[in-house]
Amino acid sequence: MPAPELFADPIVEAKDVHFSFAQQSIYRGLNLLIPRGKVTVIMGASGCGKSTFLSLLGGRLQPSSGQVLFDGQSVAALSNNQLFAMRRKMGMLFQSSALLTDLSVFENVAFPLREQTDLPEALIRILVLLKLEMVGLRGARAVMPGELSGGMQRRVALARAIALDPKMVLYDEPFVGLDPISMGVIVKLIRELNDALGLTSIVVTHDVVEGRAIADYLYLLGGGKVIGQGTADEISRSTLPEVRQFMNGLPDGPVEYHYPATEYRRDLGLTPERAAR
């Protein structure tokens, strides 16, 4: 069980959340807490609902039942104006970086400042250069995104995510497609920016090594619920078959290889008599 002081003042809470896409059930009673000021990593196999949780937290999706709370408020109950105000407290690093390709690095980071504030250009310039300095790319401010490597694009996107000094930054698969050096840089930045700026970070990933390295607390999702939680060491010592299968990358275990289907020979139109020939 987590230390009580870790969750004395959670910034996010999921209470018995149920959610489905059409006939596909994603959550069947999800319960979790996100501690304030920490790096929380949410892991699990593809399709388990990791990124879906970010969409529920941001208000893009709504649960069928249950609640997702941000700072004590139910996200689904917020008006449009309240929802936009809440989102200003969050930064988002998308898996694809989602940079505006026709704008320079500087203009990409300046974009949310221009859209969401009335700050003078002189102050916007100072803030943009400050954020770019934090990710080591102040010298690349005039470069276009297409001229940067994937790792550098991810760092520009991170500078943009923290441009408005959010309370929380959401990372959707931040390590995908990066070489080992770029991945190490992103891991370092997430950890250092979280601590230096007093952020709360939620990192969604299926990368076991980086997830364990960066997490203050870690959740493992499966079957529509939390199947494992704790510090990296606690998760690594778990004896639960579902947790061991994922953390050790085992092909055989509770997570089956085949998607549920009818019996194979029957699907091919073979009767038991014909199949026996």
Instruction: Delineate the domains of the chain, giving CATH numbers in brackets.
Output: 8-89+167-182+197-276 (3.40.50.300), 99-165 (no CATH)
Angle between helices 150-161 and 180-197 (to 10 degrees): 10
Bridge-based pairing of strands 65-70 and 73-74 is antiparallel
| Per-residue confidence (pLDDT) for residue 254, from 0 to 100 | 59
Q: Judge whether residue 1 has pLDDT over 60.
A: no
| Per-residue confidence (pLDDT) for residue 256, from 0 to 100 | 59
Residues 6+ apart with CB under 8 A from 151: 178, 179, 181, 182, 183, 185, 186
pLDDT interval class at 248 (50, 70, 90): confident
| Per-residue confidence (pLDDT) for residue 44, from 0 to 100 | 86
pLDDT interval class at 136 (50, 70, 90): very high
Angle at 64 between CA 58 and CA 70, to 5 degrees: 30
| Per-residue confidence (pLDDT) for residue 125, from 0 to 100 | 97
| Per-residue confidence (pLDDT) for residue 274, from 0 to 100 | 58
Kindly report, residue by residue over 227-238, the tens digit of the pLDDT: 999 998 998 888
Please tell me the pTM assigned to this model: 0.87
| Per-residue confidence (pLDDT) for residue 8, from 0 to 100 | 82
| Per-residue confidence (pLDDT) for residue 97, from 0 to 100 | 87
Angle at 54 between CA 53 and CA 57, to 5 degrees: 85
Are 170 and 93 in contact by the 8 Å Cβ rule? The answer is yes
